[in-house]
Amino acid sequence: MKYLLFICALCWNLTGIAVAAPQKTEIIELLEGRHWKLDAEAFKSFGSDTDSVLIEIAGDTASINYLRFRALEALSLFPSEKTAVFLEQTADKSFASLARRGFEALKYGFIKTDPERVKKLAERLLQHRNAQVRISAARAVRSLDAPSFESFINSEKDSWVRKEAQK
């Protein structure tokens, strides 16, 4: 009887693992490919936990960066509080390429529903040490708050950054 209970418990646990694992694998398959494009319908078809899996992939420093970048882009399809917090943290605390992509994902996902949140992060990123991050943030600020953008243009020391921000 003990063995039967043990076997049932083991099968129950393995079934849970087998059911949960394919979703991450399927999402990773959607993130792969040489000529990748964001397929909103495919990502949304996985349901409400898709954002958690994408956050796990994007936050996994052991994953290859292109998967992390694409996971960040896909997160723009899931405008939840959890997603916003993750993208803000990524933009604030990551290396430049990941920070810029985290900000871009936040901008695309939240510009219509929470523009104030996007503006606050963009204004913080105007002081980023990487010029590409500053340019991305300045372009967002330009559409949200013209006086802040003008202030940035007047204070930015690199002329090429000013020029790119105005495009």
Which residue in the block uniquely carries the two structure tokens 């397929």? 39
Higher pLDDT: 9 or 88? It is 88
Of the chain, the percentage scoring pLDDT greater than 70 comes to: 87
With 90 as the cut, is the pLDDT of residue 143 above it?
yes
Spatial separation of the C-alpha atoms in residues 53 and 48, rounded to whole Å: 10
Cα dihedral 145, 151, 153, 155 in deg (nearest 10): -150
List, in order, residues 6 or more apart from 164 with CB less than 8 Å away.
Answer: 135
Other C-beta atoms within 10 Å of 26: how many? 14
Degrees, nearest 5: CA angle 40-46-52? 95
Per-residue confidence at 1, pLDDT binned at 50, 70, 90?
Answer: low
Helix axes of 2-31 and 65-75: crossing angle, nearest 10 degrees: 90
Which residue in the block uniquely carries the two structure tokens 């003008």? 150
For 100-116, the pLDDT digits (tens) are 999 999 999 999 999 99
Please give the C-alpha separations between residue 98 and each of 104, 130, 138, in angstroms, as whole numbers.
10, 12, 17
Residue 22's pLDDT is what? 46
Dihedral (CA of 29, 31, 35, 39) sign: positive
What tokens does 75 get? 């997160």
For 12-40, the pLDDT digits (tens) are 555 444 444 348 899 999 999 999 999 99
Whole-model pTM over 0.75? yes
Upper half-sphere CA count for residue 10 (Cβ side, 13 Å): 6
Per-residue confidence at 11, pLDDT binned at 50, 70, 90?
Answer: low
64-75 mean pLDDT:
96
Residue 4's pLDDT is what? 46
Task: Indicate the average pLDDT of the chain.
Answer: 88
Per-residue confidence at 134, pLDDT binned at 50, 70, 90?
Answer: very high
- Contact by Cβ (8 Å): 54, 27: yes
Q: Where are the domains positioned within the chain?
A: 1-31+39-75, 79-167
Of the chain, the percentage scoring pLDDT greater than 90 comes to: 80
